[in-house]
Amino acid sequence: MSQRSCLSVILAAGEGTRMKSALPKVLHQIAGLPMVAHVVKAAEAAGASGLALVIGHGADEMRKAAAKFAPKAETFEQEKRLGTAHAVIAARAAISKGYDDVLVMFGDTPLIDADALTLARRRLAEGAAVVVIGFRPPNPTGYGRLIEKDGKLTAIREEKDCSEEEKKIGFCNAGMMAVAGAHALKLLDAVGNKNAKGEYYLTDIVEIASAQNLDVVATEASFESALGINNRAELAQAEAIWQQRRRHDAMLSGVTLIAPETVFFSHDTEIGPDTIVEPNVWFGPGVRIASGAKIHAFSHIEGATIASNCDVGPFARLRPGADLRNKAKVGNFCEVKQAVIEDGAKVNHLTYIGDARVGAGANIGAGTITCNYDGYSKFFTDIGEGAFIGSNSSLVAPVTIGNGGYIASGSVVTESVPDDALAFGRARQKTIPGKGKELRERFASAAAAKKKAAGADH
């Protein structure tokens, strides 16, 4: 089957009024990726090499977004929304290139899995002209019903056109179809609009094809994979299902999730075996974790690379460009942005490291801040191997601490420190014998005098 070429036509022209949003419906995200991009991924995983995106509502925004999530896709604007068949025909130029298989998919069905599409393509390879992906929703109301006779699909009837008898059918149209490229345009062009809604229904090609004695069949997909998103409650439902699937995959691939339901992945999170993720951890986009890392509770991680055996959190925030090398440690209430923490370096408590390198084996004391920003520009802090930064130091960038450099606690470091030097960036301590006692006595007698004066007033 791999030799058969495949075009995926993804319908995404609808307005999605029920989202109540300025953003086109299919650009709302699941796991940090627009739902239509999930559809594109599934199409590609099922072997589609051609991608045609039918857009309409918010066309400019859609084109801009598509250039990012599907740079290879061709976009086709459907100016008037006259129905799903009319929408597919908008991509006529792509379809007429002569693909073996044409997969018609909806942009608002983000959980569709590649297996369901692959199965439909297999039926085409076996000789079917039209394969409809069906499913059995708990409540079929609103869906097109699949009318079968002797194992063949003879028609799809939209809810509004169904007889009372037909409404009792539980097997429904998920909306997606695989059509043999050789027949696709001929079938689509034969669709009319004489129905309850006056629309050109894609589903009519079933009746048209079976009247021509072409082979038309239905396959069955899970309810979840056919879930269409119309409002934000359904969006959250799809997110929950997506997360559940991802957690399951992570655990089966060797990742320990102590409380899986509290860990949230992004569409592109990569996480290696023997990593342990404690409860309440959030992964934003662009996170790669090698094996054997420990991610402690309540950490928020995005755009970060974490090498083997690193230790992160609890309550760590890794922002884009955080690059933790082997056995690096970033502890509680630390924020790291655009910085390399080299092998075995430790940033253990209450620290901000931004635009910096922390050399291998260096130790960053509690409360250290890289002052990387002057309100206009960002500057770099370079901390050498084995350096020791005393607690509560401010490193005012641009600044370099040499290998083995030693910074006294509480320093404000404005000048670079050479290798193995000790730097104090604070006033020297002065100790005056007996002065503490003297002060205490003076303050006590002043307070007593004040109290006495207040008493005399009454």
Catalytic residue list: 349
The interface partner of residue 87, options being ligand UD1, Ca ion, none and the CB cut-off 5 to 8 Å by kind, is ligand UD1
By CB under 5 A, the residues from 407 to 446 that bind Ca ion are: none
Q: Count other Cβ atoms within 10 Å, centred on residue 286.
A: 17
The correct pick among 28, 86, 123, 317 for binding ligand UD1 (CB under 6 A) is 86
The verdict on 103 binding ligand UD1 (CB under 6 A) reads: no
Which among 43-51, 195-203, 360-368, 445-453 is the span making contact with ligand UD1, rule CB under 6 A? Answer: 195-203
72 by Cβ neighbours in 10 Å (0-12 / 13-18 / 19+) ranks as: exposed
Which among 74-82, 186-194, 347-355, 363-371 is the span making contact with ligand UD1, rule CB under 6 A? Answer: 74-82
> Given the complex with ligand UD1, which of 156 and 339 has the nearer CB atom?
156
Coil vs helix vs strand at 76: strand
- CA dist 328 and 341 (Å) reads 6
Q: Give the CB-nearest residue to Ca ion.
A: 228
By CB under 5 A, the residues from 199 to 238 that bind Ca ion are: 228
Tracing tokens 């809604």 back to the chain, one arrives at 197
Amino acid found at 25? K
Q: How far apart are the first and last CA of the chain?
A: 102
The verdict on 207 binding ligand UD1 (CB under 6 A) reads: no
Residue 74: half-sphere exposure toward Cβ, Cα within 13 Å: 16
- CA dist 203 and 198 (Å) reads 13
Q: Extract long-range pairs of 277-282: CB within 8 Å, 24+ residues apart.
A: 278/313, 278/314, 281/313
- CA dist 86 and 200 (Å) reads 6
> Given the complex with ligand UD1, which of 99 and 201 has the nearer CB atom?
201
The correct pick among 37, 52, 94, 106 for binding ligand UD1 (CB under 6 A) is 106
The interface partner of residue 144, options being ligand UD1, Ca ion, none and the CB cut-off 5 to 8 Å by kind, is ligand UD1
Pairing status of strand 352-358 against strand 335-341:
parallel
The interface partner of residue 169, options being ligand UD1, Ca ion, none and the CB cut-off 5 to 8 Å by kind, is none
> Given the complex with Ca ion, which of 173 and 381 has the nearer CB atom?
173
Applying CB under 6 A, which residues contact ligand UD1?
11-14, 54, 78, 81-84, 86-87, 106-108, 143-144, 156, 158, 172-175, 201-203, 228
